Structure 1
Amino acid sequence: MAWFGGSYEGAEDVAIWTATRGPGGAWTPPTQAAKVHRAASYNGKNLKHNGPYSRSEPARRGGEPHWNPVLWCGDAGTDANGGGDGAYHGECAGDVILYFKMGWKIPFWESFSTRSRDGGETWSTPSDFVRGDHGGRGPVKNKPVVLADGTWAAPASLEGAMGRVRKQWRSFVDFSQDQGRTWRPGPAVFPADGGGVIQPTVWESAPGHLHMLMRSSRGRQMHVMRSDSHDGGRTWSPPRRTRLPNNNSGLDVAYLPGSGTLVLAYNHVMNTDSRSPMRLAISEDNGETWGVFHDTDTEKGSVRAGHEYSYPACVPWPKDSAEEGVSVSYTWHRRRMAFFSVSLQELKAMSKPLNLEDAAPGA
Structure 2
Amino acid sequence: MLIRSSVLLLMTVVFMTSLADEAELRIDTKSFVVTLDGLPTPSCHAATVVETAPGRLMAAWFGGSQEGAPDVRIWGAHYEQGRWSNAVPLTESLMDGDEAHWNPVLFKTDNELVLHFKAGKSPRLWRGLYRTSIDKGLNWSGVQSHPAGFLGPVRNKPVSLPNGRLIYPSSTEHQGWRVHFERPLPQGSRRIEVGDPQMLGAIQPTILTHSDGRLQALCRTHSGVIAETWSLDNGDNWSELEPTELPNPNSGIDAITLGNGLHLLVYNPVIAGRTPLAIALSKDGVDWQLETVLEEGDGEFSYPAVIEDSGGKIHIVYTWQRKAIRHVQIDYKK
Q: TM-score, normalised by structure 1?
A: 0.73
Equivalent residue, structure 2, for 1:293 = 291
Task: Kindly report the root-mean-square deviation, in angstroms, between the aligned alpha carbons of the 2 structures.
Answer: 1.7
Deviation at 1:149, TM superposition (A): 1.1
Deviation at 1:284, TM superposition (A): 1.7
Quote the residue 2:222 is aligned against. 217
- Measured in 2, the distance between the counterparts of 1:114 and 1:170 equals 26
2:156 counterpart residue number: 142
Asked whether the equivalents of residues 150 and 177 of structure 1 are also in contact (C-alpha less than 8 Å), the reply is no
2:303 equivalent to 1:311? yes
For residues 58-100 of structure 1, give each alpha carbon's deviation from its aligned partner in whole angstroms, at most 9, with x where no partner exists: xxxx43100000011122xxxxxxxxxxxxxxxxxx2111000
1:238 to 237, 240, 244: 240
Deviation at 1:207, TM superposition (A): 6.5
Instruction: Tell me the equivalent position of 2:10.
Output: none
Q: Does 1:171 align with 2:184?
A: no
Does 2:94 match 1:97?
no
- State yes or no: 1:343 paired with 2:331: yes
1:119-134 correspondence to structure 2 within 5 Å: 119-130=136-147, 132-133=148-149
Q: Distance in 1 between matches of 2:157 and 2:212?
A: 19
Aligned residues: 276
1:5-16 map, 5 Å: 5-16=63-74
The CA distance in 2 between the partners of 1:183 and 1:33, in whole Å, is 26
Alignment of 1:43-122 (within 5 A): 62-75=97-110, 94-122=111-139
Task: For 1:198 and 1:332, locate their aligned partners in 2 and report how far apart those are by CA, in whole Å.
Answer: 22
Ranked by relative contact order (alpha carbons within 8 Å, sequence separation 6 or more), the top structure is: 2
The aligned amino acid for 2:327 is F
- Is contact 1:169–1:190 with CA below 8 Å preserved after alignment? no
| SS of residue matched to 1:195 | coil
Shift of 1:28: 0.6
| Conserved 8 A contact 1:35-1:66 | no
* 1:17 positional shift: 0.4
Which one of 153, 158, 179 corresponds to residue 167 of structure 2?
A: 153
Question: Which secondary structure does the structure 2 equivalent of 1:260 belong to?
Answer: coil
* Residue equivalent to 2:264: 263
Distance 1:173 1:208, change over 3 A: farther
> Structure 1: where are the runs of 5+ without partners?
41-61, 76-93, 162-167, 301-306, 349-363
Matched letter for residue 169 of structure 2: P
Q: Select the residue among 81, 88, 92 that pairs with 1:35.
A: 92
Whose radius of gyration is greater, 1 or 2? 1
Q: Distance in 1 between matches of 2:104 and 2:126?
A: 13
What SS does the aligned partner of 2:90 have? strand
2:106 and 2:157 in contact (8 A); partners too = yes
Determine the C-alpha separation between the residues in 2 that align with 1:173 and 1:298.
Answer: 33
> How much does 1:30 deviate?
0.5
User: Deviation at 1:237?
Assistant: 1.5
**Paired residues of 2:171 and 2:204 also in contact (CA < 8 A):** yes
Question: What percentage of residue pairs aligned between the two structures are identical?
Answer: 35
1:26 matched to 2:27? The reply is no
Q: Which residue of 1 aligns with 2:206?
A: 201
Which 5+ residue runs of structure 2 have no aligned equivalent? Answer: 1-58
